[in-house]
Structure 1
Amino acid sequence: MQSPREFSIQEYGPTACSVVLNDVAYARDGRAVFSGLSLELTQSRVGIVGRNGSGKSQLARLIAGLAAPDAGVLRVGGADVARDRKAALGLVGILFQNPDHQIIFPTVGEELCFGLTAQGANRPHARQRAQAMLDQFERSDWFDRSVHGLSQGQRHLVCLMSVLVMAPKVIVLDEPFAGLDLATTVRLGRYLDGLEQRLIHISHDLPALTEYDRVIWLERGTVQMDGPPQQVLPAYEAEMREQGGRNDFTDL
């Protein structure tokens, strides 16, 4: 089977693309999430760790252009992805923890074609591209298949294919393997590891990030630590274990 990496190179060419946040402020439901956050993400594999509520998922939404900063600048490949939605579709793809929060169409083919038509492809070309993606994953017969009849792992695969078919330069992973069995996690992880695109991976699974180029530890909307995983992950784990050993829950 041809790998997803080979598909992206042959069809779309190089995909390197920087993500730049400059003094970004963002609030949600009246609560400040970020206040003056600045980052430049240029590495191929970037991991994001942090406790629940530290701002990880909101950072993912900002990078994907699903939310706009209240102040500051956020650009992907030089584009303002929150305001230029067509550019955002070609630059950033996002995989959510729950595929049911991502899938909106009743059949697999409709789901894969949607992003392509939003990018400007006509229906025959979108169908051709979608079918080619299904062929890559040996799911040629899925085009007219109902999404609701698929297992959780299969729906995750549909989400992955719907992102890959649009050939984004950056893929944001927001706990994409939570709730999956080990075999499915390993299989989908292998596909992602082989991709040429830049991956920004939010995860509580620390071993999944050990081979990454860079890990950023977020704490209450600020960068607590930023560096190679060999430095950041042990420090983060030690702090979490120390906090877990306390008897009070005031910091939850």
Structure 2
Amino acid sequence: MSALPSRISGRAASSGIMLDRARVTLSGHVILQDLTLHLTEQRIGIVGRNGSGKTTLLRLIAGLIAPDAGIVRIDGLDPATDRKGTLAALGILFQNPDHQILFPTVEEELAFGLRQLGRSQSEALATARAALAAEGRSHWGLAPTSTLSQGQRHYLCLMAVLMMEPRTILLDEPFAGLDLPTQDRIARRLAALPQRLLTITHDPAAVADTDRVLWIEAGRIVADGAPATVLPAFRAEMARIGERDADTDLAG
């Protein structure tokens, strides 16, 4: 593990989500530009329009991509290189559950993360079945994951993440594509969690009750603060852009 720059304190390096001058370039384009952040709050929101870099930021924090320059640490760990150590520190719930589900049955899907943590197959399956029973979903165990509805698959992915007991959970548009009852069910579950939640969204209403909101545009943080300060400015700018018919030009 490389030494941290001198302006990052020892405490900052070992607590929460830390980025120091992190840059990401994809296909020759700079997507994230020298971001320096230290995120320790329990509820954090990141807003931005499509193409602003917010999903790339989530992938960077999750260790799915590595920075071209700078440093990313999750509770002192490098998520891009210390995958095993990061499993206990960080979980991620993708917008599309089909990008996350790997196994043919529900209990196998739930057991997979526990196997990654070093549990035996029998122990992992027993824990998965106990978790389903506690949720009133024992009948899901042997069901093919393909037979679950969109909302049920989303809930399955959330259960799989929670069973690994990460300290921080990344949420990528957690309510996209869900009907209102499912949104309410998942929102209640998320609100009750003790973990740090970082929610990335284009919808300001989804992060109105967070402790801190960051607004990202063109790979830079343009505002960072309380929701009551950041979100009205974000809404006003999105309304201004929407009035300009800014999508009329064809891509070059």
TM-score, L = length of structure 2: 0.90
**Which residue does the alignment assign to 1:147?**
145
SS of 2:183's partner is helix
Picking from 72, 89, 99, the partner of 1:101 is: 99
**Which residue does the alignment assign to 1:198?**
196
**Which residue does the alignment assign to 2:50?**
52
Alignment length (residue pairs): 237
Residue identity matched to 1:40:
H
Query: C-alpha distance in 1, partners of 2:57/2:134?
Result: 31
Alignment deviations for residues 146-200 of structure 1 (CA, whole Å, 9 cap, x no partner): 0000000000011001100111111000012111101100111110111000000
Q: Does 1:73 align with 2:65?
A: no
Query: C-alpha distance in 2, partners of 1:146/1:239?
Result: 45
How many percent of aligned residue pairs carry the same amino acid? 51
Alignment deviations for residues 104-158 of structure 1 (CA, whole Å, 9 cap, x no partner): 1111111111111111111122112212221232112212110000000000011
Relative to structure 1, the CA distance from residue 17 to residue 156 in structure 2 (aligned partners, 3 Å threshold; closer, same or farther) is: farther
CA RMSD of aligned residues (A): 1.6
Query: C-alpha distance in 2, partners of 1:126/1:90?
Result: 16
1:46 and 1:213 in contact (8 A); partners too: yes
Runs of 4 or more, structure 1, over 6 Å off, are none
Alignment deviations for residues 73-93 of structure 1 (CA, whole Å, 9 cap, x no partner): 100010011101101211111
SS of 1:133's partner is helix
- Paired residues for 1:110-125 under 5 Å: 110-125=108-123
- Paired residues for 1:167-182 under 5 Å: 167-182=165-180
1:17 and 1:170 in contact (8 A); partners too: no
**Which residue does the alignment assign to 1:186?**
184
Residue identity matched to 1:113:
A
Q: Does 1:20 align with 2:18?
A: yes
Query: C-alpha distance in 2, partners of 1:17/1:144?
Result: 39
Query: C-alpha distance in 2, partners of 1:206/1:136?
Result: 33
Give the deviation of 1:17 after TM superposition. 5.1
Give the deviation of 1:251 after TM superposition. 10
SS of 1:190's partner is helix
Query: C-alpha distance in 1, partners of 2:129/2:28?
Result: 44
Relative to structure 1, the CA distance from residue 17 to residue 145 in structure 2 (aligned partners, 3 Å threshold; closer, same or farther) is: farther
Q: Does 1:31 align with 2:29?
A: yes
2:19 and 2:37 in contact (8 A); partners too: yes
- Paired residues for 1:168-247 under 5 Å: 168-247=166-245
List runs of 5+ in structure 2 lacking aligned partners. 1-13
SS of 2:33's partner is strand
Query: C-alpha distance in 1, partners of 2:53/2:246?
Result: 22
Query: C-alpha distance in 1, partners of 2:54/2:227?
Result: 17
